[in-house]
Structure formats: C-alpha cells, structure tokens
Amino acid sequence: MTLIQTRENCADILCIGTQKASTSWLHHVLNAHPRTHSFPSSEPVTSTNKEAHFWDWNHDRGVAWYRELMTPDDPIKLSLDFTPEYSMLSEGQIAECKDLNPTARVIYVLRDPLARAISALRMHTKWRSQGARAEGVEIRYDQDFLELVTRARIVEMSAYVANYVRWSKHYDDILVLNYEDILQDRHAVIARIHAHCGLETEALSPDAQAEFDKRMEKRVWVSTRYNVQSEALYFLHGLLWPKRQAAERFFGLAFEEYLDVLAEDR
C-alpha cells in the first residue's frame, strides 16, 4: 500500500480564511517549520504553493488528484492548504472536507469587515488595472463597483458567524484568530498556531530558527493603496456594520481597524 493511500488526511492543517487577513504571511511562517509541507506550485491551478482551491477550482480533478497533491515526501510532515475561499463552502462541501481530512487542524483568521473589504477590492482593482499607477486609479461608487462587490463576494466572505457555524458542525476545535492580534503581537499568535497544530518550536535547528526569524519579519503581500471614493467607503461601512457587530458578539472579539479606515477619509 502506498503512502498516498495510507495518510489519514489529505491536508493536515487547513486555514479557511479570511481573505486579506495575513493568511499568506501565516502560511509562509508556518511552512518554515521542518514538520510542515507545502505542495508544489502549479499556477493557475493551485495559486502558488498556498491555496489548493480543491472545492472551488479543482473539484472535477477528483479526490485522487487532491490527495496526491497534498501528500508530503516525508510521512511525519503535516501538509498545508490555506485557501480563504473555503470559509464559504456549503455544508455538503464541508462534510466532504471532513471525510478527506478527519483530524485536520482548522484555523480561521478574522479581520474587521470594512478594512478587509477595502483591501480585497484594492487587490481586485490591481488585477484589473494591469499595473496602472496608484494615483491614476480610484475605486468609485458606480455600477462597476457594485458588480465588483458581488463578484468579490464581499458580503459572503464577511459572514464570519455563519461561516464558522457551518464549519463547527464538522470540526469542533477551530482556532479563531483576530488579524489585529497579528499586528499587535505576531509571536504570540504564531505560538498559538504552533500549539493548535502540535508543532514543537523548542528544538528547531539553528538554520530552521534563522529561517523562521527571517519569515516572521517579512511582509508577503501588500495591497496597492488605491484611493477609495467616500461614497464607496460609506456604502461598504453601512453594508458590513451588521457583520462586524455579529462577529464581535459571537466570538468575543473587538475590531478597531475600521476606525483607522474611516479616519483616512477625513
């Protein structure tokens, strides 16, 4: 029997989002640990070596494809799949995920909905503007903006409580993190993730420790700061206010990043 057939999980560590909440940085840091494994990049199929996109882009490739993609070269390593779109999976898709990854450790990073939405829309605008200078591009409140909000699934990605409830029916130990805690104390957040995933850090070799330290200070993705028209900003603020309130009550978190976003418009 082959290694691919005997592994308990396809993916051992799942990060289900949210998009624009430092999941790329978390993946980069976590993958510095010698007991973790990232699949090889095969763009555009897997979005570099971080996002397998099995349930949204690649489901028709089949379970055997996903299992082979995620299988590490060393059986003691834990494979990583950090695909933020997974937070929005249906209950049926999450049930399938549980069947394929029964003992996976799940991480869900939350970010203030308004700040996250602005960052996401800037990312989409960068893709569409084909490298135009930032000062020449503005995110304006118009029909194209409303269509982009829908295509980027701004509301669905920000439905943290509903997304968590669907996932928690299948995984009863989901590590929920606040993006603002990463900004305040990234070492404490990484320590929580290592503990959640069963990754020891005390016995890292000098080379592994040096690589870890280097990645801790690196910024993996920076959104181009296109100007956001006030009308677009306050439309999003009103649209996402209920999502923020619901998440703060449910998870016992406090989001303050939106205050800085609104202050920039004054």
Indicate the burial class of 2 (C-beta count within 10 angstroms; 0-12, 13-18, 19 or more).
Answer: exposed
Ordered by start, the domain boundaries in the chain are 9-264
pTM exceeding the 0.85 threshold for the entire prediction: yes
Which CATH code fits 9-264?
3.40.50.300
Write the pLDDT tens digit of every residue in 120-155.
999 888 766 666 666 678 999 999 999 999 999 999
DSSP-assigned beta bridge partners for residue 178: 110
Mean residue pLDDT of the chain comes to 92
pLDDT surpasses 90 at 74:
yes
pLDDT over 90, % of the chain:
81
Mean pLDDT for the stretch of residues 46-59: 92
Write the pLDDT tens digit of every residue in 229-258.
999 999 999 999 999 999 999 999 999 999
- Look at 47 and 176; give whichever has higher pLDDT: 176
pLDDT of residue 127: 66
Token readout for 254 is 């406090």
CA-CA distance, 14 to 80, in Å (whole number)? 6
Question: Do 149 and 238 meet the contact criterion of CB atoms below 8 Å apart?
Answer: no
CA-CA distance, 255 to 266, in Å (whole number)? 20
